[in-house]
Chains A and B, each alone.
Chain A
Amino acid sequence: MDNSEVRLKSGVLSLNPVNGQLGYEKSKHLLNRCMFGARLSEIEFMQNKTAEEAVDFLLRESAETLSPPLSAKNNDDEVPVGTTWINTKYNGKYRGQRIYSYICWWIGRLIHQDLSLVEKMTIFWHNHFVIENDVVRNTNFNYHYNILIYNEALGNFKELTKQMTINVGMLKYLNGDQNVTGAANENYARELLELFTIGKGPLTEPGNYTNYTEQDIREAAKVLTGWRTNSDVDQSYFTSSKHDKSTKTFSEIFNNQVIQNNEENEYIDLIEMIFSKKETARFLVRKLYRWFVYHEIDEEIEQNIISPLTELFSENNFEIKPLLKKLLCSEHFFDENYRGCLIKNPLEFTIGMLRQLEFDSPDNSDIIKQYGFWNKIFYYAKIQDMEIGNPPDVAGWPAWYLEPMYNELWINAATIPNKSAVTKSVISYGISPLSGYDKIYLDPFKVVYLANDPSDINDLIPTLTGLLFPLPATEDQINELKEVLIPGLPDFEWTAEWNKYISNPDDENQKNAVSNSIKKLLIKICSMGEYQLI
């Protein structure tokens, strides 16, 4: 298929909010983009709201504070199972147990997420301000990185950048804590400019990347000297004697700005300087656009969507909420041509499946079992190329930046069979949290009861495809799915089978027969290409 013919250029280019109640389809679209899988009850809850009401709801502050990760292995001698390790000094001895706890805790948050944008945006920031667990190693540092991106997820981008610059996890990851006067380590300074804020442009001459130069990187590195970490302490600290007190001069691009010695506040001056350039706002707006809408940004999108949003973001002093609200309420976002064009990332695919099929995840009555289950889900996403906590490198996952395929990269001949294996485990084979524990199974009847009239195949199947596919299924597809549920039989046979079960729910044979048919149907639906898209 030739790129240029097929892709719809532009479509609706307005940022005006859509009017009236959302309705089912728009509600589904909004929630699938803002959450990890939209449950039917959630879609129905939102469908009577207007876009603005719905987005306000998703952006609201949470009443509860985040509960901390818990020890979930018996062999952490310092921290008993079910209590938290975040206030215990890190000495490396129990790293394995605590990283396990940290990762499982994070997955658990996604599975049990509220109707809110906060967890989706936390993952966005994780992919933006990347650190890798395996490199940082100190589990307390990893936790404090996580808390930062969670707390500021819907907050202020400039503020987040400032705090991230001196965050223990980030200082460790990009050697900021080894950056000292006389021997500046450029690692963080480079990525700050290239990946985290203003982004690089074309190389116009040696060392000049349009938006900044190698000189700017070197001077920025000097500004950032003096910050230290200590594995015992959860905050970083500034040591004046390690700080480069010279006057730092930046390139013409930054109007030859000079930053004088300002000790521990100097990094703030640097961030202010970088954020004074409009390009910083634009860079993030583009990233958010690719995250929520589609990867292709042509000139029309740039002019009609990116530019106005950049202005708005800048005028609102880098507050995330007004930006997201403008984008997510817009006619462009809800344009029918842009429904279903994003390939799900592995977390959306896996956790979405659990949530949409109403899978009963274990509760906290048995922490070891609960965390074990969450660990399995972590693993399922990992084998689809998305290991939460460990992006492949500081640029994040390639699906969000690698031209020209972007999130088509999630779909390849290794991940497809793995997605299939995950689908079957969730729906049919069951998921075993840990050895020694029984498998946990999907209750297919919970899914069937999502339909108003489960006995009517013409209600059941469209309800399911209406939930699980981004666009309505075609008549051919509905017929194909009927063939899976009741092969070679007319519609009323389903009603008969169903009623036979209802009239005698204790009949194991009949129950199994119906259950197996539904599972086959669900596996089929979740194996289809349409299910990969939101």
Chain B
Amino acid sequence: MDRRKFIKNTASFITLPILLNGQAIQVFGANGFISPEDTNGRILVLIQLDGGNDGLNTLIPLDMYDNLAKVRPQIILPENKILHLTELNGIHPSMDKIKNLFEEESVMFLQNVGYPQPNLSHFRSKEIILSASDSQTNVSSGWFGRYLEELHPTYPENYPNESYPHPLAVTIGSSSSPTCQGDINNLGVVLTNLTTSYSSQSGVVDFPNTPYGYELHYITQIMQSTEKYLAAISETADMSETISENWPDSNSLADKLKIVARLITGGLATPIYVVNLGGFDTHANQVVQGNMELGKHADLLKYVSDAIYAFQDELAKHNKQDDVIGLVYSEFGRRIASNNSSGTDHGEAFPMMLFGNQVNPVIYGSNPEIPEAVETKTNVPMEIDFRSVYASILHHWFQVETTDIQNILFDEFTILPILKSNSDIIDVKNQGDLKISNIFPNPVLTDCRINFKTSGGPVTLKLYNYSGQEIRVLLNAKLPGGNQSIHFSRIGLSNGQYYLVLQNKFERITQAFSIQ
């Protein structure tokens, strides 16, 4: 049997100060550390809404209100209470602070995010969302974990060292998040907030080639890294306090984001933080009858809205607002129809929200179609694959090469313009690979046919109005190479000048046309 000898570790007693306001913190990076250069100092905060957030009650398609009221009479928001973001979309009245942020150009919505062949089980869907696998494939690593592994593919036993003092990722909360699961080890480490002392294992230990040896080795490694991570975090936390006056009380998401803010403003190089808020599985009593702008869902959305607002404010006060973006998501949305318990059952596509100073402040994607009547089982269909969102974050925010992104996400996905800058998108004048062949008839009276050509792969075709605002996504799909054609109806659009934008990965073609 193979025996491995490990270096003797002297028993060490480390006393740690009380860290961070009674919050258990988990730090990812059990066997790896990171330096700021690796991620150009940029940070991503993932906010998971556990249970399946009701997207249709969060970001409301105003043009569908009447039908929504018909199909979800048990829970529909009163029309006059909805806060308007644009002509077409409103937001739940609890989220007034998100509306403020939207007006300050720090919030982006992506509509109808999902994945092909949706799985309505919390656990499987969560796995899929966190692992970025295909619905049929079982992948037990998290998408960000695989990214971190790309940065640090080996876990030598002599980590940490001078250049890599800080953990790879941090989760706030008392149970580990699979997001940062690398293929073998969870790249996570967990912090504590108590004054503690502990000892690491000592003695020369042979780790036999058995499950016992494997588990003992794991335990030993964790004990060793814990000591070092805790020191790094503790130093950082000591260096900062929160100063914004907007932090709400009795808001568990805010409490967690406060800690994230302290770590970021204190100078921790960790590029990813994961926090979550539970309670979104609103099968029953989602709203208060008679006052449907109130209730469980309303309370939860308020926590989300107030917490993010305070967090943004805190970052701004420390001049860190350009270094951080956040993604708010859930494992799935909920049914279009309400059920008889003033609630909704598990659904499919849902809106994702990005926040941060650098995000593209638009509502990306078309409003979901809500018919006048639906079956109990009808769901919002997907338009944007969630992996596109991850791909866009990896590419635009963390500047990861496309080939690496393909390894991390197992496939190619359309990169979306999630940042204000989007300097990677190159306008190409009708070159060979990507071309809008023609629009017939143009000007458009009732409808038209759009003929175009691509070299294959993910492609989007979108409609913009004269002032450059995106109106509609006509197509978001993976196509085989060659000629394609779609039908376009001008119903719901006023006369005037419009633009079609055809886009694949990095190239983009614009074509003007008019509607009369």
Chain B residues contacting A91 (CB-CB under 8 Å) are: none
Inter-subunit contact B196/A476 (CB<8 Å): no
Name A373-408 residues within 8 Å CB distance of B: 385, 392-395, 398, 401-405, 408
Per-position 1/0 for B336-377, Cβ under 8 A of A: 000111010110000000000000000000000000000011
Name A133-190 residues within 8 Å CB distance of B: 175, 178, 180, 182-187, 190
Inter-subunit contact A417/B209 (CB<8 Å): no
Distance between Cα atoms of A414 and B188 in the complex (Å): 11
Is A282's beta carbon under 8 Å from chain B?
Answer: no
Per-position 1/0 for A102-142, Cβ under 8 A of B: 00000000000000000000000000000000000000000
**Contact status of A524 and B190, CB under 8 A, knowing A337-B210, A341-B210, A413-B230:** no
Is A41's beta carbon under 8 Å from chain B?
Answer: no
**Contact status of A411 and B209, CB under 8 A, knowing A185-B339, A204-B136, A420-B199:** no
- From B131, which residue of chain A is reached at the shortest CB distance? A403
Is A20's beta carbon under 8 Å from chain B?
Answer: no
Is B488's beta carbon under 8 Å from chain A?
Answer: no
Task: Give the contact stretch, choosing among A3-11, A353-361, A495-503.
Answer: A3-11
- From A409, which residue of chain B is reached at the shortest CB distance? B176
Inter-subunit contact A528/B226 (CB<8 Å): no
Which of the four size classes fits the interface of chain B?
35 or more
For the residues of B in contact with A, the DSSP-based class is loop
Inter-subunit contact A533/B215 (CB<8 Å): yes
Inter-subunit contact B199/A206 (CB<8 Å): no
Partner of B184 from A3, A178, A342, A402 at Cβ < 8 Å: A3
Is A340's beta carbon under 8 Å from chain B?
Answer: yes
Distance between Cα atoms of A327 and B222 in the complex (Å): 32
Distance between Cα atoms of A435 and B361 in the complex (Å): 55
Q: How far is the CB of B504 from chain A (nearest CB, A)?
A: 27
Is B27's beta carbon under 8 Å from chain A?
Answer: yes
Is A415's beta carbon under 8 Å from chain B?
Answer: yes
Is A24's beta carbon under 8 Å from chain B?
Answer: no
**Contact status of A203 and B341, CB under 8 A, knowing A8-B210, A337-B211, A417-B226:** no
Inter-subunit contact A413/B199 (CB<8 Å): no
Partner of B194 from A186, A202, A337, A418 at Cβ < 8 Å: A418
Is A471's beta carbon under 8 Å from chain B?
Answer: yes
- From A530, which residue of chain B is reached at the shortest CB distance? B216
Distance between Cα atoms of A394 and B192 in the complex (Å): 26
Distance between Cα atoms of A364 and B209 in the complex (Å): 48
Inter-subunit contact B190/A413 (CB<8 Å): yes
Inter-subunit contact A395/B123 (CB<8 Å): yes
Chain B residues contacting A300 (CB-CB under 8 Å) are: none
**Tally of A-B Cβ pairs under 8 angstroms:** 202
Per-position 1/0 for B177-212, Cβ under 8 A of A: 010010111101111101011110111111101111
Q: How far is the CB of B47 from chain A (nearest CB, A)?
A: 18
**Contact status of A411 and B138, CB under 8 A, knowing A175-B283, A480-B203, A527-B198:** no
Distance between Cα atoms of A470 and B208 in the complex (Å): 14
Per-position 1/0 for B111-149, Cβ under 8 A of A: 000000111111110000000000110101000000000
Inter-subunit contact B135/A421 (CB<8 Å): no
- From A398, which residue of chain B is reached at the shortest CB distance? B175
Inter-subunit contact B194/A421 (CB<8 Å): yes
Chain A residues contacting B48 (CB-CB under 8 Å) are: none
Distance between Cα atoms of A6 and B204 in the complex (Å): 19
Is A269's beta carbon under 8 Å from chain B?
Answer: no
Q: How far is the CB of B8 from chain A (nearest CB, A)?
A: 8
Inter-subunit contact B122/A393 (CB<8 Å): yes
Inter-subunit contact B174/A385 (CB<8 Å): yes
Inter-subunit contact A412/B217 (CB<8 Å): no
Most buried by B among A186, A340, A398, A416: A416
Distance between Cα atoms of A253 and B44 in the complex (Å): 44
Is A296's beta carbon under 8 Å from chain B?
Answer: yes
- From A395, which residue of chain B is reached at the shortest CB distance? B123
Distance between Cα atoms of A182 and B175 in the complex (Å): 39
Inter-subunit contact B345/A185 (CB<8 Å): yes
Is B499's beta carbon under 8 Å from chain A?
Answer: no
Name A267-295 residues within 8 Å CB distance of B: 294
Distance between Cα atoms of A186 and B337 in the complex (Å): 14
Is A71's beta carbon under 8 Å from chain B?
Answer: no
Inter-subunit contact B123/A203 (CB<8 Å): no
Is B253's beta carbon under 8 Å from chain A?
Answer: no
Per-position 1/0 for B160-182, Cβ under 8 A of A: 00000000000000111010010
- From B233, which residue of chain A is reached at the shortest CB distance? A413
Is A194's beta carbon under 8 Å from chain B?
Answer: yes
Interface residue count for A (Cβ, 8 Å)?
Answer: 74
Is A343's beta carbon under 8 Å from chain B?
Answer: yes
Per-position 1/0 for B276-290, Cβ under 8 A of A: 001000011000000
Inter-subunit contact B340/A180 (CB<8 Å): yes
Q: How far is the CB of A171 from chain B (nearest CB, A)?
A: 12
Inter-subunit contact A529/B223 (CB<8 Å): yes
Inter-subunit contact B124/A398 (CB<8 Å): no
Is B466's beta carbon under 8 Å from chain A?
Answer: no
Distance between Cα atoms of A2 and B218 in the complex (Å): 11
Q: How far is the CB of B297 from chain A (nearest CB, A)?
A: 16
Distance between Cα atoms of A143 and B454 in the complex (Å): 64
- From B24, which residue of chain A is reached at the shortest CB distance? A414
Partner of B124 from A200, A341, A414 at Cβ < 8 Å: A200
Chain A residues contacting B222 (CB-CB under 8 Å) are: 411-413, 416
Is B17's beta carbon under 8 Å from chain A?
Answer: no
Is B443's beta carbon under 8 Å from chain A?
Answer: no
Per-position 1/0 for A513-534, Cβ under 8 A of B: 0000000000010011110110
Inter-subunit contact B176/A398 (CB<8 Å): yes
Is B46's beta carbon under 8 Å from chain A?
Answer: no
- From A3, which residue of chain B is reached at the shortest CB distance? B184
Partner of B216 from A296, A527, A529 at Cβ < 8 Å: A529
Inter-subunit contact A338/B216 (CB<8 Å): no
Distance between Cα atoms of A361 and B135 in the complex (Å): 51
Inter-subunit contact B214/A6 (CB<8 Å): yes
Is A511's beta carbon under 8 Å from chain B?
Answer: no
Chain B residues contacting A524 (CB-CB under 8 Å) are: 11, 199
Distance between Cα atoms of A533 and B216 in the complex (Å): 8
Chain B residues contacting A470 (CB-CB under 8 Å) are: 212
Inter-subunit contact A412/B124 (CB<8 Å): no
Partner of B284 from A185, A343, A405 at Cβ < 8 Å: A185
Chain B residues contacting A7 (CB-CB under 8 Å) are: 210-211, 214
Is A67's beta carbon under 8 Å from chain B?
Answer: no
Q: How far is the CB of B397 from chain A (nearest CB, A)?
A: 27
- From B157, which residue of chain A is reached at the shortest CB distance? A1
Is B213's beta carbon under 8 Å from chain A?
Answer: yes
Partner of A343 from B202, B219, B346 at Cβ < 8 Å: B219
Is B16's beta carbon under 8 Å from chain A?
Answer: yes
Distance between Cα atoms of A245 and B17 in the complex (Å): 63
Inter-subunit contact B345/A529 (CB<8 Å): no
Chain B residues contacting A325 (CB-CB under 8 Å) are: none
Most buried by B among A185, A418, A476, A528: A528
Chain B residues contacting A342 (CB-CB under 8 Å) are: 215
- From B213, which residue of chain A is reached at the shortest CB distance? A6
Is B229's beta carbon under 8 Å from chain A?
Answer: yes
Residues of B within 8 A of A (CB): 2, 11, 16, 24-27, 50, 117-124, 135-136, 138, 140, 174-176, 178, 181, 183-186, 188-192, 194, 196-199, 201-207, 209-220, 222-223, 225-226, 229-230, 278, 283-284, 339-341, 343, 345-346, 376-377
- Return 23 A-B CB contacts under 8 Å, by A number: A1-B217, A184-B339, A185-B284, A190-B121, A206-B117, A214-B120, A218-B377, A341-B212, A343-B219, A393-B278, A402-B178, A405-B186, A409-B186, A411-B222, A413-B222, A413-B230, A414-B191, A524-B11, A524-B199, A528-B201, A529-B205, A529-B216, A532-B219
Q: Which 4 A-B pairs have the closest CB atoms?
A: A183-B340, A341-B211, A417-B196, A420-B198
